[in-house]
Amino acid sequence: MMSGFWTSEFFHNWRHNASAIAGSTLLVIFAVIVLAGPLLVAQDPYDVGSLNLLDSYKPPMWLDGGESAFPLGTDGQGRDVLASIFYGTRVSVLIGVSAMVLSCLIGTALGLLAGFYGGWLDSVIMRIADVQLSFPSMLIALFLMSAFGTGIDKVLIALTAVGWVVYARTVRGSTLSEVNKEYVQAARVAGLRDGKIIRRHILPNVLTPVIVVSTVQVGTFILIEASLSFLGVGVPITKPSLGLLIKNGFDVLFSGLWWNSVFPGLFIMALVFGINLVGDFLRDELNPRLK
Amino acid sequence: MLGYTIKRLLQMVLVLWAVSVIVFLMMSFTGDPVFMVIPIDSTQAEIDQARRILGLDRSMLAQYGIFIGNLLQGDFGRSYVFGQPAMELILERLPATMEIVVLAVVIAAVVAIPLGVYAGANPGRASSRAIMSGSLLGISLPGFWVGMMLIFLFSVRWHLLPSSGRGDAVEVWGLRLSFLTVDGWRHLILPSVTLSLGTLAILLRITRAGMMEVTRQDYMKFARAKGVSRRGVLYGHGLRNALIPVVTIFGLQLGDLIAFATITETIFAWPGLGKLLIDSIYRADRPVIVVYLMLVALIFVVINFIVDIVYTLIDPRITVK
């Protein structure tokens, strides 16, 4: 199995694609930050006892007045910016990935049902999707959040409410083209129950586009969450994501304290850029039409 | 064609009705507006009376009836905060938003289309690859962060451009417009550039994909063989055909721009619709939020409608069923 992967066309193409390698490298770095972030920095930025107000607004270490203990400087409470970013990255990635998984499960299930059964169920699901798609996701999420109030769980609900549509549409399309193929008819003739046909036979055949959509969607979700938090209707201040860090940095930007907002922004950029590079590669690789 | 147009118009009405139901439901779950209009030390009797005046003591269905009835008569209620009719407030702010949105669209189109044509016509070149990586980076950036960086560089560091507000505006036919004064332009540049970035990147990618598709076609080779210059073929024959998907995306992007204007306007303290919306959300100013939503919904369905119609006009191969 493994040796098959190393000699596969997929791996060969990956090895010869500079952007795919760059993207994967970025994602590996972020995976390390998410998994081991707290071990890599000395300070827990949300343990008030470890903060010292005398350390506040120190510039990055390469500037006058910077200290090597705070490589990217500190904020108004003497919090290490790098440590805040590592903790914030965890929140951002956690939200992006969980919301993607939730949207994917719900959207894929609805898409399968709509495509397999058709009829009124199909009409209802697809009309809802149509109405929703005529609005930008950002706006829908913003309104849901303004109704819910802040909180990680609420951000997840809002993002899922926005995100399921893409899966439902994609999966319904692929299901429609699978459902009349001979292997599905054969399964029906063999007397398999609908649930089993959908799970065992149709699902594996419609998963490829789902993988592509999922990758890119994590990036989109991270950006939407950042925007919501920037507007003050995202995550609570006790658990800041990268977006909320940027917002906090914005308040002191006018006094020239740029490192509080520049670095979290660079991290979001690198993270989403990595996701998009890998997403682009997967789309080209997994799309049979382009081959 | 007429049948199709009528069908699409009916669909528009249906969508708007659905939006009105959703807006109504969402508004009923977001706290009690009574506490927005009464003084903090009111007695229970005063609260009850205010509730009666606002119609909040009736059933949900009756409340929806009043809500939709008022909407249809063009009565959107008064802002709890400003005491002014909500519609008036919104219309007052609309030109400011349209200014940055239109300028953002223009910036995006002027930069993205030539770059997209170039990258699509010369796919192998290093410069094309750089353009494509740049556009992917553009999609990966949080727009609000770019705005902040522009403020930091151009306003805080170099003191070249103002960081907030709208500057001098001139009144033309009752509309306050900034783009007619030098000071207005200085205020317009940073917000519009910030807003345009996302659209620019997407437009560039779509144009390139369309161009790559089109350059393979025989009519392109034929036009070259006929003696048309390379430039003439690319822009005259190629771009016209590559633009079809661009039109769709353009319509969708216009909607996105209005949505993202909320963030841009918040950063640059630009007195448009988006800033009004965010302020209204903070203050639970329900009537203003409702008008904003209904107006934006209307703008979106109209844009989608126009895009569909334009689509059939520019591509004669598309036949309407």
- Angle ∠(A253,B185,B177) on CA atoms, nearest 5: 115
The reply to whether residue A19 touches residue B139, judged by beta carbons under 8 angstroms, is no
Beta bridge partners of B171: B176
- The verdict on A223 touching B (C-beta cutoff 8 Å) is yes
Whether B135 has a pLDDT exceeding 60, the answer reads yes
Instruction: State the Cα–Cα distance between residues A78 and A100, nearest whole angstrom.
Output: 34
- For residue B283, the chain A residue with the least C-alpha distance is A146
Burial environment of residue B319 by CB neighbours within 10 A (0 to 12, 13 to 18, 19 or more): exposed
CB atoms within 10 A of CB B234: 21
Average pLDDT over residues B178-202: 84
ipTM exceeds 0.95, yes or no: no
Print burial letters for A49-72: b (CB count within 10 Å at least 16), e (below 16). Answer: eebeeebebbbbeeeeebeeebbb
Whether B282 has a pLDDT exceeding 70, the answer reads yes
Whether B321 has a pLDDT exceeding 60, the answer reads no
Q: How much is the pTM? A: 0.87
Whether B70 has a pLDDT exceeding 60, the answer reads yes
> What pLDDT score was predicted for residue A289?
55
Amino acid B120 reads G
- What are the residue boundaries of the structural domains of chain A, listed by start? 69-290
Instruction: State the Cα–Cα distance between residues A264 and A30, nearest whole angstrom.
Output: 13
> What pLDDT score was predicted for residue B33?
66
CATH architecture of the domain with residue range A69-290: Orthogonal Bundle (1.10)
- Local confidence pLDDT in tens for the 291 residues of chain A: 456 777 778 888 888 888 888 889 999 999 998 888 787 777 777 777 777 777 777 777 777 776 777 777 787 777 888 888 888 899 999 999 999 999 999 999 999 888 888 888 888 888 888 778 777 888 888 888 877 778 898 899 999 999 899 899 888 888 888 888 888 888 888 878 887 888 887 888 888 888 888 888 999 999 999 999 988 888 888 888 888 888 888 888 887 788 888 889 999 999 999 999 898 888 888 765 544
In chain A, what residues touch B151 (CB-CB under 8 Å)? Answer: 253-254
The reply to whether residue A232 touches residue B26, judged by beta carbons under 8 angstroms, is no
Instruction: State the Cα–Cα distance between residues B285 and B275, nearest whole angstrom.
Output: 13
Q: State percent of chain B over pLDDT 70.
A: 92
Query: Which tens digit of pLDDT belongs to each residue from A82-141?
Result: 888 888 899 999 999 999 999 999 999 999 888 888 888 888 888 888 778 777 888 888
In chain A, what residues touch B19 (CB-CB under 8 Å)? Answer: 131
> What pLDDT score was predicted for residue A2?
56
The reply to whether residue A273 touches residue B266, judged by beta carbons under 8 angstroms, is no
Chain A closest-CA separation from residue B172 CA (Å): 31
Instruction: State the Cα–Cα distance between residues A185 and A190, nearest whole angstrom.
Output: 8
Q: For residue B192, what pLDDT band results from cuts at 50, 70 and 90?
A: very high
The reply to whether residue A136 touches residue B304, judged by beta carbons under 8 angstroms, is no
Chain B closest-CA separation from residue A202 CA (Å): 31
- The verdict on A123 touching B (C-beta cutoff 8 Å) is no
Instruction: Catalogue the E-assigned strands of B104-262.
Output: 170-172, 175-177
- The verdict on B245 touching A (C-beta cutoff 8 Å) is no
The first and second tokens of residue B64, run together, are 């929806």
In chain A, what residues touch B280 (CB-CB under 8 Å)? Answer: none
